[in-house]
Amino acid sequence: MTKLEALKSSILADGKIDTDEVELLHRELYADGRVDRDEVEFLVDLRGQAKQTCPEFERFFIRAVKDNLLADGEIDANEVTWLRKLLYADGKIDDQEKQLLNELKAEAKQTCPEFQQLLNECLKS
């Protein structure tokens, strides 16, 4: 069992993600000063399996996705394809995901037309 798998099992033991666990996630995932794509996908999986998450986790989740996508300041078509899969993993777009899209739009130095299309599509729902 990898370190992240063990961490996920520990966190999901009670079905919820609390503030202390968010601190633990932050220390683990940002140990090298950045969050990579595999670590963001770990968070997506963790979020999807949790029965309940605290507001701190939702803020952490949004920050991690933004830090990963905006590492170079731009959002390209390949990143939009990945983001689309992430957002629709559970079949719906929730308020936190809409917030994420709005923040990405505001903070990106440059976005591609595919990002604008995804933004328009998700904000309609």
pLDDT at 61 over 70: yes
Helix (H, G, I), strand (E, B) or coil at 91: coil
CB 69 within 8 A of CB 104: yes
Which residues does 8 contact at the CB level (< 8 Å), separation at least 6? 42, 45, 46, 49
Whether 77 and 112 have beta carbons less than 8 Å apart is answered as yes
In this predicted structure, what is the pLDDT of residue 1?
63
What is the pTM (predicted TM-score) of this model?
0.91
Contact 71, 112 (CB under 8 A): no
125 has a pLDDT exceeding 70: no
Any idea which of 9-23, 54-68, 90-104 has the lowest mean pLDDT? Answer: 90-104
Model confidence at 124, pLDDT cuts 50, 70, 90, reads confident
